[in-house]
Structure formats: structure tokens, C-alpha cells
């Protein structure tokens, strides 16, 4: 009975986000397979070495995001509380990832400016800032009354899930940075 009611009261934004999460997760799994199949290619290894990303970390990151996308898409479509948590975590994690990218751009701004490309550091500041802004707007959408009601989370205090999701995202980012450093 719950699934019928959930389908009838499902916000249109959740339907769209669910489809995007499912499609994105499946695409990431396809990319994961392609990168794995190309993992013995010297050019791929050279490219990864030049940016300091160990292949196992890349594969783990792609797999994590693919699994998160598929699971959150399914959970959101079904109106499950865990779907809300995974879906909103996706955007909290995106905010942290893009903030880390902004810090990286700042640290590499001289190298980016000196590179023989038309895109300077300003392009990347704008790109990652816009990603943070869009992710923040979508994260806020998860806290709308009708969205929280659809997932049965009307009584959950707003600050707790945000604090947990941002802390978990920060923890993953730090662990990934430390792991990448140890694998090199």
C-alpha cells in the first residue's frame, strides 16, 4: 500500500532526480568497466600518473559514485528513507568534492595560467563554484516539506542529516587524499 501512495504523492523533482541518478550510476559503471579494460594501457597510466591519481583510487571512486547513483535512484523512486539519505548525500558529497577542486585550482593556479590552453584559473573557479551552487540548491530541495513528507521524514530535525552528510563527505575526501598519497 505504501508504494502505491508513494507513487501517487511522489514530487516531480524526485522523479527527475531518480532518473538522473539511475542513468548517471549506470553510466559510471560503464566508465568503470572501460577504465578497468584500459588499465593496462601505458597512455592511461601516464595520464593518471601526471595528475597523481592511482588507478585503484580512480576505480574505487567511480565504483562508489556509480553504486551511490543507482542505489539512491532506486530508493528515491520507492520513497524509502534511505533513498532520501543517499540522494541528499550525493549532493552534500558533490559540494565537498567541488570545494576540494576549488582549493586544488587555487594551489595550481600558476600552473594552470602557464599551461598552453585558452582556459585560465578563472574558468575553473567559475565551473566548480557553479557546481557547488547547483548542488546546494538541489540539496535544499530535499528539505522541502512535500519532499520530506514523501519520504516520511517530517519529524527529522534538519540540521542532523546535513551535519552527518557533510562530515561523512569530508571524511571520505580526507581518506581518499590520504589513500592516494599512500598508493603513490
Residues 53-112: tens digit of each pLDDT: 888 888 999 999 999 999 999 999 999 999 999 999 999 999 998 998 888 887 777 666
Grid cell, residue 21, equals 541518478
Burial-class residue 119 by CB neighbours within 10 Å (0-12, 13-18, 19+).
Answer: exposed
The model's pTM is 0.83
| Tens-place pLDDT, residues 124-172 | 889 999 999 999 999 999 999 999 999 999 888 877 887 888 888 888 8
Based on its alpha-carbon atoms, the radius of gyration of the chain, rounded to whole angstroms, reads: 19
Domain ranges of the chain: 2-183
Amino acid at each position: 500500500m505504501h508504494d502505491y501512495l508513494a507513487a501517487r504523492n511522489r514530487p516531480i523533482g524526485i522523479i527527475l532526480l531518480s532518473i538522473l541518478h539511475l542513468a548517471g550510476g549506470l553510466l559510471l559503471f560503464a566508465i568503470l568497466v572501460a577504465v578497468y579494460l584500459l588499465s593496462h594501457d601505458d597512455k592511461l597510466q601516464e595520464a593518471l600518473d601526471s595528475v597523481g591519481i592511482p588507478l585503484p583510487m580512480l576505480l574505487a571512486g567511480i565504483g562508489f559514485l556509480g553504486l551511490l547513483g543507482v542505489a539512491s535512484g532506486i530508493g528515491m523512486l520507492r520513497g524509502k528513507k534511505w533513498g532520501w539519505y543517499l540522494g541528499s548525500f550525493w549532493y552534500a558529497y558533490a559540494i565537498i568534492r567541488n570545494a576540494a577542486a576549488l582549493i586544488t585550482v587555487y594551489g595550481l593556479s600558476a600552473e594552470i595560467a602557464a599551461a598552453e590552453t585558452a582556459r585560465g584559473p578563472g574558468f575553473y573557479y567559475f565551473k566548480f563554484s557553479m557546481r557547488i551552487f547547483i548542488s546546494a540548491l538541489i540539496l535544499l530541495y530535499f528539505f522541502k516539506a512535500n519532499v520530506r513528507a514523501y519520504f516520511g521524514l517530517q519529524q527529522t530535525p534538519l540540521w542532523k542529516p546535513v551535519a552527518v552528510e557533510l562530515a561523512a563527505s569530508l571524511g571520505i575526501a580526507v581518506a581518499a587524499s590520504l589513500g592516494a598519497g599512500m598508493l603513490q
